[in-house]
Structures are given as C-alpha cells and as structure tokens.
Chain A
Amino acid sequence: DAKTTQPPSMDCAEGRAANLPCNHSTISGNEYVYWYRQIHSQGPQYIIHGLKNNETNEMASLIITEDRKSSTLILPHATLRDTAVYYCIVSLPNAGGTSYGKLTFGQGTILTVHP
C-alpha cells in the first residue's frame, strides 16, 4: 500500500474553509485516495474518495493533483463539529475476491475548529 504523509495538526476558524493536505507520492495507478475522520471516542467516518478526478459530496471536496502524488480535502464551511482526526488513506477498492479494501491508517491530521 502506498504511504501517506499528513501534517500532525491544523487549526481553522469556524465558518472558514479547512484545507487538509496529503502527500502520497508512491500511489499506484489503480489505488484510490480515501478520506476518513474520527471524532473522539467514535468509529471512523467515511468522507469521500477519488481516483484522479476531483470529487465533491455533501460533506467535502477532494482535489487530486494531475500526477496523483498529492491531494487536498476541503471542508467548505468548517463547524465546531468538524473537529476530529482526519485520515488520508490510499487503498485498492473494496472489490472482494483477490483485492480487498484494507485501510492503512497513519497518524492523521488533528483538525481543531475554533469559534
């Protein structure tokens, strides 16, 4: 599995956009970029994933560079409830059979949203 590098912590003001970077320079052609977050004492929560195109859903946007070596998760209007550890993960899709969606979590980025 490709390894990811994230800053250990970031701060953001409530209502502003939070931009969380991730480096994954050894990503292979068929690996996806996933983002999960974990609020204290809860199980991780899926946020978004992408292969090479930018993606957007109701929670966030994912921007992947053209060479796929890095990506940015954007929370457009951060709230206090977005305070969590954010994990950027590179993994094969969860296709069962010979490949499987093993998620290799690193240390993640602790995002603190301030009032």
Chain B
Amino acid sequence: ETGVTQSPTHLIKTRGQQVTLRCSSQSGHNTVSWYQQALGQGPQFIFQYYREEENGRGNFPPRFSGLQFPNYSSELNVNALELDDSALYLCASSLGGLAGSYEQYFGPGTRLTVT
C-alpha cells in the first residue's frame, strides 16, 4: 500500500505568479482534502474533492482552485500569488462514501515561498 505523496517538495514563486501543486492519494482512496498551514499555525481546510467533484470548501478565495482526476490524484492551483500564500500545503487522502473510513492520511506537504 503506497502512502500519500506530494510534489514538488519545495517551491519558490514570485508575487502575481500561478502555481500548481500535486498530490497522489493512497491506493484505494477516493477523497482528497487540501490544507494550508502557515508557520506556527494549525492546518486550515481549503477544499475537498470526492469522486472528482468539489465536496466542500473552506474560507479561501476563488483563486484557490483544484481538480481531482479519475485515478483520484489531485491538483491545487493558486492564481495571482500573494505573499501571505507562503505556507506548507498539505493534502490528505481518505475513503469517503457510505463505506468510508474515518481517518485521513496526510502527505509530507509542499513548502511554498512567495517572494
């Protein structure tokens, strides 16, 4: 059973640019959630994808968008980067649905620095 992987590990972007972060979910999982963790804070929920559809969104502006693919991997896209977007971006995979599990498995994160 492969774990959750994220790429890239680190990324440096300039304010105003766009970025795409990627997440491969754990084998057998159909749900991916994305979180933003600023330095010294707990992770904040961005959104969740369940079977390729957005299934809930946190308090983040529309320039944060995502995709989930048929193999349940996922992308997080952030447009018009701002300095405050500098953070660790975490994805978590889980099995959702009627026979779903309760735990979410997190990847190691992508550290994004916006200058």
Contacts and interface: CB of A to CB of B under 8 A. Distances in A.
Q: Taking chain A's interface residues, is the majority helix, strand, or loop, or is none over half, making it mixed?
A: loop
Contact of B48 (A44, A101, A104, A107): A101
A87 B42 contact: yes
B42 A45 contact: no
B60 to A, nearest CB: 12
Interface centre among B31, B33, B55 (most CB of A within 10 A): B55
Interface stretch (B12-20, B63-71, B72-80, B101-109): B101-109
Q: Taking chain B's interface residues, is the majority helix, strand, or loop, or is none over half, making it mixed?
A: loop
Interface in A67-115: 85, 87, 93-97, 100-108
A44 B109 CA distance: 10
Interface size class of A (residues with CB under 8 A): 20 to 34
Contacts of B108: 42-43
A108 B51 contact: no
B55 A103 contact: no
Interface of A: 32, 34, 42-46, 49, 85, 87, 93-97, 100-108
Of all A-B residue pairs in the complex, the 6 with the closest CB atoms, nearest first, are A105-B42, A96-B96, A43-B106, A46-B103, A96-B50, A100-B56
